[in-house]
Amino acid sequence: QVQLKESGPGLVQPSETLSLTCTVSGFSLTSYGVNWVRQPPGKGLEWMGTIWNDGSTDYNSALKSRLSISRDTSKSQVFLKMNSLQTEDTAIYLCAREGGDDVMDAWGQGASVTVSS
C-alpha cells in the first residue's frame, strides 16, 4: 500500500528556515520521484519542486533561490528545506508521488505550517 506522510514543525518564525520530512512506504524512492506541493489557506495548489528517482531535482523558479529538496533512500525519506520564510509561506505542505504518467498519483495528508512571530 502506497503511503506518504509529512512531518515537521507547525510554527516557524519569520525569516527562519522550514524543514519538512516526507516518509514514504509501499514504494522505493529509487523507482519513483516525489513532489512537494503547497496550499495556502483557502487557496489553490502550487507545485514547489520534484526529486526524481535518480536523485536529480527540479524546482519552481519562483522558489528556487530559497528551496532545497533532498532524500535519504535508506530511510525512505524526502526532505524539504526552504529559507527566509515569510507570512505568505503559511500553507499546508504536501508531498506526492510522481506516477508513471507524469502525474501525482498518491498524496500525503499534508503538514500545516504557520509563519508567525
Partner 1 sequence: DIQMTQSPASLSASLGETVTIECLASEDIYSNLAWYQQKPGKSPQLLIYYANSLNDGVPSRFSGSGSGTQYSLKINSLQSEDVSIYFCQQNYDSPRTFGGGTKLELK
In the complex, the residues that contact partner 1 under the rule CB under 8 A are 44-47, 58, 60-62, 94, 96, 99, 101-110
Report, in Å, the least distance between residue 85 CB and partner 1: 20
Query: Closest approach of Cβ 22 to partner 1, in Å?
Result: 12
Q: What is the DSSP letter of 27?
A: S
Residue 6: CB minimum distance to partner 1, A: 10
Give 27 or 47: the residue with its C-beta nearer to partner 1.
Answer: 47
Give me the phi and psi of 87, to 5 degrees please. Answer: -60, -30
In the complex, the smallest distance separating the C-beta of residue 42 from partner 1, rounded to whole angstroms, is 10
Closer CB to partner 1, residue 101 or residue 117?
101
Residue found by looking up cell 519562483 in the block: 62
DSSP 46-111: EEEEEE-TTS-EEE-TTTTTTEEEEEEGGGTEEEEEE-S--GGG-EEEEEEEE-TTSSEEEE---E
Q: Which is nearer to partner 1, 79 or 107 (CB)?
A: 107
Distance CA 61, CA 59 (A): 6
17 vs 109, beta carbon nearer partner 1: 109
